[in-house]
Structure 1
Amino acid sequence: MNVFILEDKWIEQRYLEQTLRKIQTELKISKMNILPFTDVDSLMDELPEPSTGNVYLLDIEIAGNKKAGLQVSQQIRQHDAFATIIFITVHDEFLPTTYKFKSEALDFIAKDHDNIVAKLKDDFVFIIKKQHQQQPVQWLTLKTSAGYLKEDLGNIYYFEPNPTNSHQSLLHTIDNQVLTINVTLNELENEFPVLFRAHRHYLINPLKVISVNLKHHTLRFKGNDQDYPFSRLRTKHLFARLKELESPLKII
């Protein structure tokens, strides 16, 4: 777990560090990297890879700028959708303003109250619980002309052959991107058994299937209203795979 502190007053910074170490001991958190910063630029230069293990404790007023923490929270959220943001400040009048910055903060703790330790501990209990509930991301490392692409399985709908190059495939993602991959469907199927060969021309992500039309032998993906064919010969195998995954499924 990485905890980033943005606080320009040294004594307040030290207090937060000591509080975090106490919480680490009480909650038996095996690893907690505490990284304190006194200015926004230094913090922004050290932003890590997006992760549920990143926690940001932000003071709102930094170096006289009464909205510095709010502004940096917006940049953090744009960079890291998984991180936890907690505001600790004397400016509790800015609480409604946090929603305008869309930082999706977990908590807003007033410095002048005597419950900082208790509230932070409750927040970290919530963070740990959320991390345990989080499904692990499954990454597919795919060869491209530019090198290698690391793609989250959760972002993939399906692969199909590249009609202009028999040695390549086209990856279709949930955000409507079409990416060229320098391997065939057969190679992908052999390397990534999590994918399913629904049709000669389609290697799908079965986790995204939400409905199957038995009359027309088509299927649909979550968030996509287009019909995709599957082979009649693969019907039994398709249902067996979906049953294994315990996926919510509508049969038409």
Structure 2
Amino acid sequence: MLKVFIMEDDVQQLTELKSITEQIITKLDLSDSLVLTFDSTTDLAHALPKPGPENVYILDLQINYNKRAGLQLGQLIRQSDPDATIIFITVHDELLYTAYKYRVQALDFISKDQDNIYQELLKDFRLLTHRQQQQQANVFTYKSYKKDPRFYRVHRSYLVNPHTVKNVDFYSRQIVFYNGLTCPVSRRKARDFFELVRQLKHPQDENLPKQKRK
């Protein structure tokens, strides 16, 4: 089930975004999903759910004439909900680069000036659901598989099969799978898990003599 949180301070646009999102949910057969709307950043900040990859935030970039309010809200969300999906709806395309400085890691920036919000959001939701479906083949909840020796706990919520891992990105603290999908890894687990993956890929390295320091 997806939980979609829409933030837009214009009531008419908020209603339109909710309608578009509900149409997409129906089209993709995601009928068990929940859509909540907010016209205040404070209200949304107080209503942040339990963190999880099922959370989707659709945020207006400019709120109450503040062009960076959406970025600031996105930064707050990212800090408390690192696995969530964030999508910005904006007329300020020039702030795209600024978003990287905020480390929001948004999935998309959709321009209000174009009459394609439905199509763009549909594309994003299709990508999101596809990622979740594919990720289930590689990532499993800790409670369900904690006794299975094939899997390694990399995060408080996830176990991963190390044989399906291509790389560990320390900068973003993400595990990258061979199929292109990613999974979060905790800072405490990252280096040990990287060493495990390295040993699986290059077991012969363990038998090599260590070089002496000159």
The question of a shared fold, defined as TM-score above 0.5 by the shorter chain, is answered with yes
Note the C-alpha offset of 1:224: 4.8
Note the C-alpha offset of 1:19: 0.4
| 1:58–1:85 contact (8 Å) kept in structure 2 | yes
Q: Distance in 1 between matches of 2:56 and 2:7?
A: 11
Q: Aligned residue for 1:100?
A: 101
Letter in 2 for 1:250: P
Note the C-alpha offset of 1:51: 1.2
| 1:39–1:63 contact (8 Å) kept in structure 2 | no
Higher helix share: 2
Letter in 2 for 1:8: D
Note the C-alpha offset of 1:29: 1.0
Q: Aligned residue for 2:74?
A: 73
Q: Aligned residue for 1:223?
A: 194
Deviations 1:151-178 (A, max 9, x none): 44649xxxxxxxxxxxxxxxxx96449x
**Structure with greater contact order relative to length (CA < 8 Å, sep ≥ 6):** 2
The 5 A counterparts of 1:156-167 are none
Are the structure 2 counterparts of residues 176 and 67 from structure 1 closer, same or farther at C-alpha, using a change threshold of 3 Å?
closer
Runs of at least 5 residues in structure 1 that lack an aligned partner in the other structure:
142-149, 156-172, 178-207, 209-219, 226-246
Q: Distance in 1 between matches of 2:11 and 2:74?
A: 21
Q: Distance in 1 between matches of 2:158 and 2:73?
A: 30
Q: Tell me, what secondary structure is at the counterpart of 1:222?
A: helix
Are the structure 2 counterparts of residues 55 and 176 from structure 1 closer, same or farther at C-alpha, using a change threshold of 3 Å?
closer
| 1:87–1:108 contact (8 Å) kept in structure 2 | yes
Runs of at least 5 residues in structure 2 that lack an aligned partner in the other structure:
147-154, 161-184, 208-214
Higher strand share: 1
Q: Aligned residue for 2:141?
A: 137
Runs of 4+ in 1 over 2 A off after TM superposition: 150-155, 173-177, 220-225
Q: Aligned residue for 1:36?
A: 37
The alignment yields a C-alpha RMSD, in angstroms, of 2.9
Q: Tell me, what secondary structure is at the counterpart of 1:62?
A: coil
Note the C-alpha offset of 1:30: 2.6
Q: Distance in 2 between matches of 1:37 and 1:126?
A: 24
| 2:7–2:37 contact (8 Å) kept in structure 1 | yes
Are the structure 2 counterparts of residues 127 and 249 from structure 1 closer, same or farther at C-alpha, using a change threshold of 3 Å?
same
Bigger Cα Rg: 1
Alignment length (residue pairs): 166
Deviations 1:185-229 (A, max 9, x none): xxxxxxxxxxxxxxxxxxxxxxx9xxxxxxxxxxx943359xxxx
Q: Tell me, what secondary structure is at the counterpart of 1:223?
A: helix
Q: Distance in 1 between matches of 2:90 and 2:188?
A: 41
Residue of structure 2 aligned with 1:250, choices 159, 182, 203: 203
The 5 A counterparts of 1:42-81 are 42-81=43-82
Letter in 2 for 1:47: L
